[in-house]
Amino acid sequence: MNINWYPGHMKKTKESIQNNLKLVDVIFELIDARIPYSSRNPMIDMIVGDKARVIILNKSDLADSKVNIIWQDFFNKSSIPSVLIDALKGKGIDKLISLSNEVTSEKRLAYAKKGVKNLPIRAMIIGIPNVGKSTLINTLTERRGAKTGNKPGITKSNQWIKTKGNLELLDTPGILWPKFEDQQVGLNLAFTGAIKDEILDVETLALRFIEDMIKIYPELLIDRYKVNLEDKTALEILDSIGRIRGCIVKGGEIDYTKAGNIILDDFRKGNMGRITLELPES
């Protein structure tokens, strides 16, 4: 999805989400477990304030399982409970429901004292594009393939959908803007496909990705492409991968765009293995 964010637009989105905050008991902040830092909105704490919140590390099936635990601990220590899920397969949903009960227990207890029992928990999903908001809504509500609204902010025709676990979900997610200032954040978002390959050409993006992989998961590159990394530059590695994968144009030249697409596509689909590009301390 392509949204051009400008200041007026951000302000409107922030206000419309804040208006909807009053309607819900809990916020589901959805992020991408492969890039938990880069996939967070920079103003999220200010926007959400002290509303009960659960951080949902989605796409955990594609992320490094050891690092998943590190991030989960990190968020839990920062006093926002977090849960690892795979929204496509519905993994982790029960845990999400139990956390939603925990973080709203005080409110529900207060209502119970007034005689209101089994109060549904009203929730709203928010997050930057591509973190899996529509997928999670569809999984929670058991809708098949329904595309949720893709306009930033919240549309006026809010509807509540009952889901399992006594949740009531706002049917339209809050679409937030990503961080813009940091170059590595931009790259990480582009690697995952959250911003379409528009900030850099595919070849440059793939080269930057290879550079990062050499530092953090060299063995996955070797396993997947049977390349020798020793003393090689990213360009030489891209060249080898292109050659091995038959990305050759007339005259025996390597088609770097084709080779770059193979690598980025492999990462996005998890074909290289489970990869997390960021650690909390970095």
Residues that constitute the known binding site: 58-61, 130-135, 174
48, 63, 131, 262: residue in contact with ligand G4P (rule CB under 6 A): 131
| CA atoms 113, 115, 117, 122: torsion sign | negative
List residues bridging with 56 in a β-sheet.
Answer: 30, 83
CA distance 37 to 110: 35
Report the alpha-carbon angle 56-62-67, nearest 5: 70
3, 21, 88, 202: residue in contact with ligand G4P (rule CB under 6 A): 88
Binding piece for ligand G4P, criterion CB under 6 A, among 18-26, 99-107, 133-141, 242-250: 133-141
Is there binding between residue 134 and ligand G4P (CB under 6 A)?
yes
User: Which residues are annotated as part of the binding site for GTP?
Assistant: 58-61, 130-135, 174
Instruction: Name the packing angle between helices 256-269 and 202-216 (round to 10°).
Output: 50
Residues found in the chain: 282
Is there binding between residue 61 and ligand G4P (CB under 6 A)?
yes
Taking the complex as a whole, the smallest distance from the CB of residue 110 to ligand G4P amounts, in Å, to 33
Is there binding between residue 59 and ligand G4P (CB under 6 A)?
yes
Taking the complex as a whole, the smallest distance from the CB of residue 117 to ligand G4P amounts, in Å, to 34
Is there binding between residue 132 and ligand G4P (CB under 6 A)?
yes
Taking the complex as a whole, the smallest distance from the CB of residue 107 to ligand G4P amounts, in Å, to 27
17, 24, 62, 93: residue in contact with ligand G4P (rule CB under 6 A): 62
Tokens describing residue 90:
């519905």
Other CB atoms closer than 10 Å to residue 141's CB: what's the count? 17
Q: Which of 237, 197, 192 has the alpha carbon at shortest distance from 214?
A: 237
Is there binding between residue 31 and ligand G4P (CB under 6 A)?
no
Is there binding between residue 135 and ligand G4P (CB under 6 A)?
yes
CA dist list (Å): 137 to 23, 30, 87: 18, 11, 9
CA distance 188 to 215: 15
Comparison of 16 and 166: residue with beta carbon closer to ligand G4P: 16
Comparison of 108 and 191: residue with beta carbon closer to ligand G4P: 191
Is there binding between residue 104 and ligand G4P (CB under 6 A)?
no
Binding piece for ligand G4P, criterion CB under 6 A, among 6-14, 55-63, 103-111, 211-219: 55-63
Helix then strand count (H, E) for the chain reads 11, 7
Taking the complex as a whole, the smallest distance from the CB of residue 207 to ligand G4P amounts, in Å, to 22
Largest CA distance in the chain: 80
Comparison of 137 and 254: residue with beta carbon closer to ligand G4P: 137
Contact of 122 with 25, CB cutoff 8 Å:
yes
Tokens describing residue 164:
């399992």
Contact of 203 with 238, CB cutoff 8 Å:
yes
What residue is closest to ligand G4P based on CB? 132
Binding stretches for ligand G4P (CB under 6 A) = 1, 58-59, 61-62, 86-88, 127, 129-135, 193
